[in-house]
Amino acid sequence: MARIDVRKTYKLYIGGAFPRSESGHSYEVTDSKGKFVANAALASRKDVRDAVVAARKAFGPWSARTAYNRGQILYRIAEVMEDRRPQFEEAVKQSEGGSAAAARNQVDAAVDRLVWYAGWADKLAQVIGNANPVAGPFFNHTAPEPTGVVGVLAPQSSSLLGLVSVVAPVIVTGNVAVVVSSYERPLPAVTFSEVLATSDVPGGVVNVLTGDAGTLGPWLAAHMDVNAIDLCGVAGATDLATSLEVAAADNLKRVRRAPDAEPDWAAEPGLAPMTAFVEQKTVWHPIGI
């Protein structure tokens, strides 16, 4: 007789802990063929609220880390992911379908992307900041700083590479993230949370909510303690994206607009995913004796 498997109900990842949804709700996650895989917590507006609180608490210390240290930690995430490649491959294959090789490629690319962003930690300021030769006896320089708490609606299709490609650029510069995972494909995000929890990332720096971007997005977009939002997860949903952008205007969030369709995640990202969520600070000081 075949063994009865232990069916899992995955939880949320908030402030470095794995709580159930405040609402108590969960939903069934199926594989690409519609077969039951697991239950995932269905995050509610109150989970958004808790995640934002956790993120805000983590922001000060995380942004105060040295860039070198943040780079080390991102690299550590890549190392731990590398260790758990089979699990990620399985999760991606289950979620997205396709061949094992295709899933492997996705995982490889996701790990490589983390490594790429890890290297940016202590270079971005050198590339996009500068000394300004003002017409007077003043030292004047401009350098990027993280914008704060960033709401990230992760892509719906690319469950791992897409997820990593929107989270890594947010946190590498010192921001903290409240991520809403793909609704139908949340398991790679859940596994990613487990990696984050075991790879030196301070609790609250990345918070992962499994659930519906259409439900959670409005709460994130309207939240007055969220500084920016990436709308990638509602790509193609024009009306929803517009309403989220309107809500985001209430505290002038920096908005990374939703594309018409998910981009080719394999392409080199460029700087825009990072620069969308930094502030440029200019400091003046007199030069004298």
Partner 1 sequence: MPTTAPTDPAPGLAAYSEVTASEASLRRFLHGLPGVDQVGAEARAAGLGTRSIKTTAKAWALDLAIRMVDLTTLEGQDTPGKVRALASKALRPDPADPTCPSVAAVCVYGDLVGEVKAIVGDQVNVAAVATAFPSGRASMDVKLADTRDAVAAGADEIDMVIDRGAFLAGRYLQVFEEIVATREACVRPDGSHAHLKVIFETGELQTYDNVRRASWLAMLAGTDFIKTSTGKVQPAATLPVTLVMLEAVRDFREATGVQIGVKPAGGIRTAKDAIKYLVMVNEIAGDDWLDPDWFRFGASTLLNDLLMQRTKMTTGRYSGPDYFTLD
Partner 2 sequence: MAFEYAPAPESRSIVDIKPSYGLFIDGEFVDGRGASFKTVNPATEETLAEVAEASDADVDLAVRAARRAFRGWSRMSGKERAKYLFRIARIIQERGRELAVLESIDNGKPIKESRDVDVPIVAAHFFYYAGWADKLEHAGLGPNPQPIGVAGQVIPWNFPLMMLAWKVAPALACGNTVVLKPAETTPLTALLFAEICQQADLPPGVVNIVTGAGGTGQAVVSHPDVDKVAFTGSTEVGKAIARAVAGTDKKVTLELGGKAANIVFDDAPIDQAVDGIVSGIFFNQGHVCCAGSRLLVQESVAEEVLARLKRRMGTLRLGDPLDKNTDIGAINSREQLDRIRELSDIGEAEGAERWAVACDLPSSGFWFPPTVFTGVTQAHRIAREEVFGPVLSVLTFRTPAEAVEKANNTPYGLSAGVWTEKGSRILHMASQLRAGVVWANTFNKFDPASPFGGYKESGYGREGGRQGLAAYLKGAEA
Footprint of partner 2 (CB under 8 A): 127-128, 130, 132-136, 138, 140, 142, 145, 147, 227, 238-239, 241-243, 245-246, 248-252, 254, 270-272, 275-276, 279-286
- Cα within 13 Å of Cα(18), Cβ side: 15
Region binding partner 1 by CB under 8 A among candidate stretches 5-13, 94-102, 189-197, 281-289 = 281-289
Scan residues 122-141 and list those touching partner 1 (CB under 8 A): 136-138
Nearer to partner 1 (CB atom), residue 24 or residue 288: 288
Which partner in partner 1, partner 2, none is near 289 (CB below 5 to 8 A by kind)?
partner 1
Taking the C-alpha atoms of residue 114 and residue 110, their distance in angstroms, rounded to an integer, is 6
- In which region does residue 25 sit, left (phi positive, over 0), alpha (psi from -120 to 50) or beta (all else)? beta
**Parallel, antiparallel or unpaired: strands 138-146 and 228-230:** unpaired
One-letter amino acid at 4 equals I
Region binding partner 1 by CB under 8 A among candidate stretches 30-38, 97-105, 153-161, 280-288 = 280-288
* Residue count, binding to partner 1 (CB under 8 A): 7
In angstroms, what is the minimal distance from the CB of 262 to partner 2?
A: 18
Considering only CA atoms, which of 29, 188, 184, 37 is closest in space to residue 111? 188
Residues 6+ apart with CB under 8 A from 272: none
Q: Which residues bind partner 1 (CB under 8 A)?
A: 136-138, 286-289
